[in-house]
Structure 1
Amino acid sequence: LGAVLESAEDDRTTFTGQISLTTHPWLADHAVAGTVILPGTAHLDLALHAAHHTGHTHIEELTLETPLALPETGSLHLQVTVGATDEHGNRALTIHARPATTDT
């Protein structure tokens, strides 16, 4: 995650980056039925990076709703968004990805 955007509207923070089998070849070792997916520990690492940057020390719960499949060629743009603080001091976190239009 190379860039950070702090919302002017609220205390939401978005981190962006790119991932591919070229930039992270070790991911090829995590294939399920021939499809490379981002391991759960990588999701946790992304969440912890965002948490630490926003002043939090731990992740209370992490639910993976859909496996993140990596393309054989090309890359994915990642967005990790830490939502605004709720009344309990917690912040929701989401991870989204889409195919990159150009590869770097």
Structure 2
Amino acid sequence: MHTREEAIEWLRKKGFHAAARDWSLGKTVCVGAGPISNLGSSITAFRHMIYIYPESEQWSISDWSSQSAVIKMCGSLENAALEAANALTKKLADDAATHPTEA
């Protein structure tokens, strides 16, 4: 996995929302899980959101699911995508255990 497009395709195959986003963090991959469907609009929000972004000569992830973003340096884009998928999978499992009717 060497491009954002490859990372997005892999994450989508894993069942996550994934999209390219170009903004202040650079050319990132936005990865969402746990869609919130009762917002009453065409916009989908997610309970959990992680950004994969380039930093120096490597890729990092930033978990925006809480009040303070948690950052982890991952090295390669492939490692960052795997870390994001693992973190979101754990968050969804925690949701299911804590709130079984909402997950």
Q: TM-score, normalised by structure 1?
A: 0.32
Question: Looking at both structures, which has the greater relative contact order when contacts are Cα pairs under 8 Å and sequence separation is at least 6?
Answer: 1
Which entry has the higher C-alpha Rg, 1 or 2?
1
Q: Which has the higher strand share?
A: 2
